[in-house]
Amino acid sequence: PAPLQISPSILAADFANLEDELRRIETADWAHVDVMDNHFVPNLTLGLPVVEALARVTPVPLDCHLMIEDPDRWAAGYAEAGAGSVTFHVEAAADPVATARAIRAAGARAAFAVKPGTPFAPYEELLDEVDMVLVMTVEPGFGGQAFMDDQLPKVRAVREAAGRRGGQIWVQVDGGVSADTIGRCVEAGADVLVAGSAVYGADDVPARIGELRALARR
Ligand code: DX5
Ligand code: ZN
């Protein structure tokens, strides 16, 4: 299996001090950047110019999670802006194959995400086009929500399908990941653990990242 990776979500960080907030997570594998457009989800965060600026100031690769309409139009731009990984939602993509290929052509890892109500099975063939699948374990839009245990069978299904296809496809879990829930995610087959409030809510952020890593050990 792939090594376990921690991707703290800066959605829970202080937006007035993002450069400092990124410095607090330099021991993490990724910085998860939640892009929301007020249409795909009922919340608005940041977009391309901010991602470009963040990429300039941090050595941590950016893991951009696009919760936006029309990702076909925008996704490759995030790769060009310097993101190391770009995830789009299948519910919003008109041509997911072309979008995944455009992300990869622009030099980033490509991933698709599924909301809690979206089944994975219809998208199994898309595994040939991506490096990762994001299984949402809360309704996208806000941090600090309760982890949805009923999504764990989907994590398992993605892990199994990825195994059947061969290659190295990571499974990412996003939403409500904490010291209490991270073990279940890893047990179900997650490789990349996103955590917002669990990381930035800690007094000692690097220590919390270390704790999560230790709890995630398989
Ligand atoms: C929710 C975002 C998540 C969010 C997770 O729409 O996609 O990345 O930041 O926050 P926590 O870890 O607090 O659930
Ligand atoms: Zn996210």
Domains parsed from the chain with CATH numbers: 5-216 (3.20.20.70)
> So what's the pLDDT on residue 198?
98
Return the active site residues. 34, 174
| Ligand 1 neighbourhood includes 11 CB (under 6 angstroms) | yes
32 is in an annotated binding site: yes
* Residue in 6, 7, 9, 139 to alter for ligand 1 test, most ligand atoms within 8 A of Cβ: 9
144 lines ligand 1 (CB under 6 A): yes
**Is-contact 139 163, C-beta < 8 A?**
no
pLDDT the model gives residue 217: 85
Q: Ligand 1 pocket, 63 CB below 6 A?
A: no
| pLDDT for residue 172 | 98
Task: Print pLDDT tens along the chain (218 aa).
Answer: 778 999 999 999 999 999 999 999 999 999 999 999 999 999 999 999 999 999 999 999 999 999 999 999 999 999 999 999 999 999 999 999 999 999 999 999 999 999 999 999 999 999 999 999 999 999 999 999 999 999 999 999 999 999 999 879 999 999 999 999 999 999 999 999 999 999 999 999 999 999 999 999 87
pLDDT at residue number 171: 98
161 strand-pairing partners: none
Q: Give 44's Cβ-side CA count (13 Å radius).
A: 3
Q: Is 68 in the pocket of ligand 1 (CB under 6 A)?
A: no
pLDDT given at position 11 = 98
What confidence score (pLDDT) does residue 218 get? 77
Check residue 169 and give its pLDDT: 96
Cα(195) to ligand 1 centroid in Å equals 7
Ligand 1 centre and the CA of 62: distance in Å? 15
ipTM: 0.99
pTM of the model: 0.98
